[in-house]
Amino acid sequence: MLWANWTGTSTVPSLALYPHQWSWDSAFIAIGLRHLSPLRAQLELETLLAAQWGDGRVPHIVFNDAVPPGAYFPGPDFWRSATAGRRAGAPGGVQTSGIVQPPVHALAAWLVHRADPGLSRARSFLARLRPRLAAWHRYLMTARDAGGAGLAAVLHPWEQGMDNSPCWDGPLSRVEPADPGAFRRADLDHGAPGDRPTDTDYGRYVRLAAQYRDQGYEDAGRDGTRRDPGAFSVEDPAFNALLITSEYALALIEAELDGTECRSSERRERARALTDTLVARLWDPARALFLCRDLRSDRLIAERGVTGLIPLVLPALPPAVTAALVRTARGPHFGLGGATRLVPSYDLTGPAFDPRRYWRGPAWFNTNWLVAKGLRLHGELPLADRLRAAMLDAADASDFAEYVDPYTGAGRGARRFGWTAALTLDLLR
Ligand code: DGY
């Protein structure tokens, strides 16, 4: 099915629901595709990074001109305006959105290179991607450092990727929803309303994105020009853990290209320091979980989301934090190895838990893949093996669903979903 979703230059997450190229989807898809076709995996990342903006941001959607305008909302016309993007360096010749998604790309590039180093060297794959990946990380660590501590902030739930997580309910409540008559939700043409975000959430997504666009996509971070961080400005554990993981990967890429020792690289040191910052800013010892920090109130958001488990992928976490995170994953809030088959996106005991609605409870394959990777990294092999087996079962039984009920594994959302298929392939290798 990964062939069916291939457009010639990239892979769509879903033929009907998401008919363009999505940033973090493409990174996860490349990680799986490398086992089938290292060349296509390289092209996937090259296509995405060719749409990078002048300021270094990698847009969350690269639009496919062949797709009819009404097939997805918000399309290219929404993200474009007379002046929007000019200062931030929106690229010519390709239509993109103006927000970002989690930076999984350097990790993906490194894994894709390792799948066929000969092909990669012959095509100068890493050499061509390196400056783009470095600029992407620089953008996140400077223009997006709205909190001033070194972590990247997200300005929209779509940027963090877990769109309607209850973690966002507090910050989103400050946003006046856009007039529902002013736009049409194309997602409901293809998805059951009970599986998707509500209309009120959508109205808020649209309002926030339009505000950012109308301010020329300018950022509030250290080298940004927008002084007001906006209604939604959050430091998120998964987004930053993925940035740190990708910093380690970029250190490996640089060492490979320069023929130097990676262990002592400046970038690696920065990744370690950022891990300390992540713990200092987002670790909540009482809940034994990483939480999101709302930069408007400068307080941690008291909701338990799967985002708080993702820092398990970091090698330099303090051992006491790692041990506590594993206990939390196994405990009543996430049920790993016990009540649930797969790790849910949100606290099983939380008031907003809903086993079918998108990121308010269902289990997703990319987050479970990351949790399994983290468990393996920290030596929790039986737990990681069990999770891997459950993911393979659920992916197969649900026809590669976008997400599943964490208790039963019943499929929800789109089927034949790109990263579900790709990460299944990765688990099989
Ligand atoms: C959507 O359209 O639902 C996406 O999550 C936004 O990128």
pLDDT of residue 264: 75
How many CB atoms within 10 Å of residue 215? 16
Residue 371 inside a domain? The answer is: yes
The answer, yes or no, to whether residue 312 has pLDDT greater than 80, is yes
- Beta carbon of 158 within 6 Å of any ligand 1 atom: yes
Residue 311 inside a domain? The answer is: yes
- Beta carbon of 201 within 6 Å of any ligand 1 atom: no
pLDDT of residue 80: 87
pLDDT of residue 154: 97
Lowest mean pLDDT among 49-58, 149-158, 260-269: 260-269
Which structural domain range is residue 397 located in?
21-426
Q: Say whether 284 is catalytic.
A: no
CB-based contact 235:221 (threshold 8 Å): no
Say which residue the tokens 């790309």 belong to: 105
What separation in angstroms does the CA of 276 have from each of 159, 272, 298? 23, 7, 18
Residue 5 inside a domain? The answer is: no
pTM of the complete model: 0.97
The answer, yes or no, to whether residue 82 has pLDDT greater than 70, is no
- Beta carbon of 204 within 6 Å of any ligand 1 atom: no
409 φ/ψ angles, rounded to the nearest 5 degrees: 80, 5
- Of 202, 208, 167, the closest CA to residue 359 belongs to 167
Residue 12 inside a domain? The answer is: no
- Give the separation between CA 310 and CA 346, rounded to whole angstroms: 13
- Beta carbon of 144 within 6 Å of any ligand 1 atom: no
The answer, yes or no, to whether residue 314 has pLDDT greater than 80, is yes
Q: How many domains does the chain have?
A: 1
Confidence class for position 243, pLDDT limits 50, 70, 90: very high
Confidence class for position 69, pLDDT limits 50, 70, 90: confident
Q: Which of 44, 402, 405, 426 is catalytic?
A: 402
Strands (DSSP E) contained in 334-381 are 363-364
- Give the separation between CA 155 and CA 230, rounded to whole angstroms: 7
Name, in order, each residue with C-beta under 8 angstroms of 389's C-beta and a sequence gap of 6 or more: none
> 93 or 39, which is more confident?
39
- Write 167-170 long-range contacts (CB < 8 A, 24+): 167/234, 167/236, 167/291, 167/292, 167/301, 167/303, 167/305, 167/307, 167/346, 168/232, 168/234, 169/303, 169/352, 170/294, 170/301, 170/303
pLDDT of residue 118: 98
Q: Which atom of ligand 1 is nearest to 22's Cα?
A: 7
Ligand 1 probe mutation, 20, 96, 163, most atoms within 8 A of CB: 163
**Which ranges of 37-85 would DSSP assign to H, the alpha helix?**
38-49, 76-79
Confidence class for position 228, pLDDT limits 50, 70, 90: low
Q: Which atom of ligand 1 is nearest to 197's Cα?
A: 3
CA of 72 to the centre of ligand 1 (A): 9
Residue 87 inside a domain? The answer is: yes
> 332 or 220, which is more confident?
332
pLDDT of residue 225: 60
Name, in order, each residue with C-beta under 8 angstroms of 340's C-beta and a sequence gap of 6 or more: 334, 348, 363, 406, 407
CB-based contact 374:391 (threshold 8 Å): no
pLDDT of residue 261: 82
Q: Which of 44, 46, 145, 163 is catalytic?
A: 163
The answer, yes or no, to whether residue 223 has pLDDT greater than 80, is no
Angle at 47 between CA 42 and CA 53, to 5 degrees: 130
Span 420-427, mean pLDDT? 98
CA of 385 to the centre of ligand 1 (A): 31
Residue 7 inside a domain? The answer is: no
Span 226-244, mean pLDDT? 89
> 1 or 227, which is more confident?
1
CB-based contact 216:84 (threshold 8 Å): yes
- Mean of pLDDT over the chain: 95
pLDDT, tens only, 326-360: 999 999 999 999 999 999 999 999 999 999 999 99
Residue 143 inside a domain? The answer is: yes
Q: Residue 80 carries which DSSP code?
A: -
pLDDT of residue 291: 98
CA of 148 to the centre of ligand 1 (A): 28
pLDDT, tens only, 15-37: 999 999 999 999 999 999 999 99
pLDDT of residue 224: 63
- Give the separation between CA 290 and CA 287, rounded to whole angstroms: 8
pLDDT, tens only, 366-416: 999 999 999 999 999 999 999 999 999 999 999 999 999 999 999 999 999
Span 141-161, mean pLDDT? 96
- Identify how many contiguous H helices and E strands the chain contains and give both numbers: 15, 11
Confidence class for position 221, pLDDT limits 50, 70, 90: confident
- Beta carbon of 60 within 6 Å of any ligand 1 atom: yes
- Of 239, 205, 231, 220, the closest CA to residue 97 belongs to 205
Say which residue the tokens 């809903």 belong to: 354
pLDDT of residue 227: 58
CATH number where 213 lies: 1.50.10.10
- Beta carbon of 168 within 6 Å of any ligand 1 atom: no
pLDDT of residue 222: 67
- 353 torsion bin: left (phi>0), alpha (psi -120 to 50), beta (else): beta
Say which residue the tokens 């394959």 belong to: 365
The answer, yes or no, to whether residue 301 has pLDDT greater than 90, is yes
Ligand 1 probe mutation, 17, 22, 158, most atoms within 8 A of CB: 158
Residue 6 inside a domain? The answer is: no
CA of 123 to the centre of ligand 1 (A): 33
Query: Ligand 1 atom 1: the closest Cα is on which residue?
Result: 158
